[in-house]
Amino acid sequence: MFLEEVCGTWIDNPFWRSRFVISDPKDIAMLRASKVREVWIDASKGADVWVATTAAQLRSDDGAAQQSDSSSEADAYASRAPVPMSEELQRAARICESGRQAVTSMFQEARMGNAIDAAGVSNLIEEISNSVARNSSALISLARLKTADNYTYMHSVAVCAMMIALARQLNQSEAVVRSAGIAGLLHDLGKMLVPNEVLNKPGKLTDAEFALVKRHPVTGHEFLLASDNIDPMALDVCLHHHEKVDGSGYPKGLNGSQISLFAKMAAVCDVYDAITSNRPYKAGWDPSESLRQMGLWASGHFDLPVFQAFAKTLGIYPVGSLVLLNSGRIGVVTEQSRAALTMPVVKVFFVVVSGMRIVPVSLDLSERGCQEKIIAREDPAKWQFADLDELWSGVTKS
Domain containing residue 210: CATH number = 1.10.3210.10
Q: Tell me: the pLDDT tens digits for 269-287?
A: 999 999 999 887 788 999 9
Mapped onto helix, strand or coil, the DSSP state of residue 134 is helix
Does the pLDDT of residue 242 top 50, yes or no? yes
- Please give the average per-residue pLDDT across 368-388, as a whole number: 95
pLDDT in tens, 8-57: 655 566 665 567 788 778 778 878 887 788 888 877 777 654 333 334 44
Pair (74, 91) in one structural domain:
no
Stretch among 19-23, 238-242, 358-362 having the lowest mean pLDDT? 19-23
Instruction: Assign 75 a pLDDT band (cuts: 50, 70, 90).
Output: low
Domain span at residue 326? 322-393
- Across 343-348, average pLDDT: 97
Q: According to the model, what pLDDT value does residue 119 have?
A: 54
* Residue 297, pLDDT above cutoff 60: yes
Length of the chain: 398
Cα 340 from Cα 60, distance rounded (Å): 50
3 or 255, greater pLDDT = 255
Residue 271 located in a structural domain: yes
H-helix segments, the chain: 25-33, 55-61, 63-78, 85-111, 121-134, 136-142, 151-169, 174-186, 196-199, 207-214, 216-225, 232-240, 261-276, 287-301, 304-314, 380-383, 388-393
How confident is the model over 228-256, as a mean pLDDT?
95
Last residue of a domain, one of 314, 330, 365: 314
74 plus 213 within the same structural domain: no
Residue 51 shares a structural domain with residue 182: no
- Mean pLDDT (the chain, rounded): 87
Indicate whether 304 belongs to any domain: yes
Range with the poorest average pLDDT among 81-85, 111-115, 256-260, 357-361: 111-115
- Residue 154 located in a structural domain: yes
Q: What angle do CA 366, 293, 291 make, to 5 degrees?
A: 35
pLDDT surpassing 80 at residue 257? yes
Residue 108's pLDDT is: 87
Query: 10 Å Cβ neighbour count for 254?
Result: 18
